[in-house]
A and B are shown apart, each in its own frame.
Chain A
Amino acid sequence: AQSVTQLDSHVSVSEGTPVLLRCNYSSSYSPSLFWYVQHPNKGLQLLLKYTSAATLVKGINGFEAEFKKSETSFHLTKPSAHMSDAAEYFCVVSSGPYSSASKIIFGSGTRLSIRP
């Protein structure tokens, strides 16, 4: 079985300060992990993905995430928040044997607010 838990439903930071969005997962297979961002009335956009290569993954817009197998975590970070980062963020785990369905699980989302 697999699951994904986003530990914070809402995170608020000041512009220019670091961002940390937390994600824990469980998976019976070697997982692929993704972070997506959803701006209001827009579709989901991929920020970054981990697929068993380097454990520190760099994405778009200055975001990065580190895969920690021992902690079953894949937290999203950014050194300095920008007003345009305000959005909903989803952590996604995808795993399963090739012969079966794609098991794609979204977290419940973290709403990121940026204070001026």
Chain B
Amino acid sequence: DSGVTQTPKHLITATGQRVTLRCSPRSGDLSVYWYQQSLDQGLQFLIQYYNGEERAKGNILERFSAQQFPDLHSELNLSSLELGDSALYFCASSVLTSGGWGEQFFGPGTRLTVL
């Protein structure tokens, strides 16, 4: 158990819909990352937050947005869903050390299926 929790575990929805994925980081970790993993694209970095502020952006679509709340949990919002958005979505957390980003602790993921 990494200490990172994600809900829900599975999500089945229809094209055009909007969903929210939730992540609670490990106790003490201020940084949260979101990743999308699909068979054809591999593990894609979406976005990173550090202590409530957006820190880095990866291949995140405009239809997707995220935020980190004062209690450090994070939510990833996916809207106008398309079939191609079906994937595993992982959240990870880490601490920032003087030597850069430390190891990331991954949650179990949310499997999104868009029908």
Tell me whether A and B are bound partners: no
Interface residues of B (CB under 8 A from A): none
